[in-house]
Structure 1
């Protein structure tokens, strides 16, 4: 099924690499849980992660469930606080979560997130128009009714949706249309960064290609940078310039999409590639020297600071 994505070449573009829009250094994140024996254990979810994203660029963070990729995204957006490390977004220190409503709104104008299931992230009681008007008013409260109406039409055009859908509610839309509405809502803030957490994994393969093509077109038209969180390496080939492969909270390998997909150096990356169904596909047996677990577990009573 994923072969169709491999056939679509990336729509790459050249970007100024001088000053990253996003920079993270040595991020660490742990959680305290109770083990089967009742003792407290420390789950190491993110372990020394460093990465950068260029303005207008696209970076994919890839890994299986439990690899730490989504936790890393939450840390980058300030939805959770790292135990240690630093985060810089558009030159500002985002290491700590925003403390005030003003700070949260300012960050939301800089970075927006698009989630996996748009039906859950959209308000089912709102029409598409109401959803977009609400988002515009939050980020541009001084806009009058006429300016808001113009912006709504611009957003619909940007995500390739007809204006006849403006008074439709989410339940009457297809999965692809809902995700386009979710993307339009995120774009209402005019962000410099879009974070996409498994944003196409729930879509069929044809719709997936359409949404990925749309995202790359939006990137080239607006200059917004894209951070894609995914378990699917074929998505990376279509959308991303740079790739980070995560396993057990650590970065296993990094490089350009071409390097990672065509000439992977890490055994784990090769295993991920070999797991993609394709013509003549046969699964490889894992022969790893160490125990393969979702997280590194160590006995502890406190979270390292």
Structure 2
């Protein structure tokens, strides 16, 4: 009888372990899938961190270091964020990756260049930032050493209004709040807000456009994405705004220029696009 009881206990224990292990695997898989979606759509990480060769990304080098900038504040190349332990982030802990994302600080305490929109990631829910880390862990390690950054002045950590602390999952049940969250982690206002005397003029010109972006495409100027009917999106339909975001086509049918990551935003879900448009409708008009 004792043997039978013990055998049943072992079988039951094994079954419970298998169920729990299966549930954990499913949860991990879902987390990685969420990270994949975020990294390869809203966050547009590959837009900067994947090397480009005319006209497209360099095959097999995804996320191993990408665009370079030589600007008044810095001379820097987007670093390798693959799990390579020598030239990437393979030796970083999860907490160190999260600190770099949210606070713009490397494991040694030095800041990342402020071209990295870390201030816009302060708002990320714990689930989403964990999902990004989980996905980055799955990337193929690529050995590629980029040049060390040169900082010509102290690096800032600009945080957009309302984005100074992580959202809770419950915050995302409201459509406009969700749209604000998504537009923030997509760092829309980083490019669509012009500079003032102390950096991006979030207080007076949030979303007013006017920032210039030189590149292989020539020079593009960010558009006004406020609710202004004269200068912004006030007279655009929802469908026209979505087409601009996902296809790079303006209201009048003209083609918009990079560096906005239209092909990446095209991967956004319909619900997420709806939420972003709902939020943009609420951005105060700026002329």
**Could you state the TM-score of these two structures normalised by the residue count of structure 2?**
0.25
Bigger relative CO (Cα 8 Å, ≥ 6 apart): 1
Higher helix fraction: Structure 1 or Structure 2?
A: 2
Higher strand fraction: Structure 1 or Structure 2?
A: 1
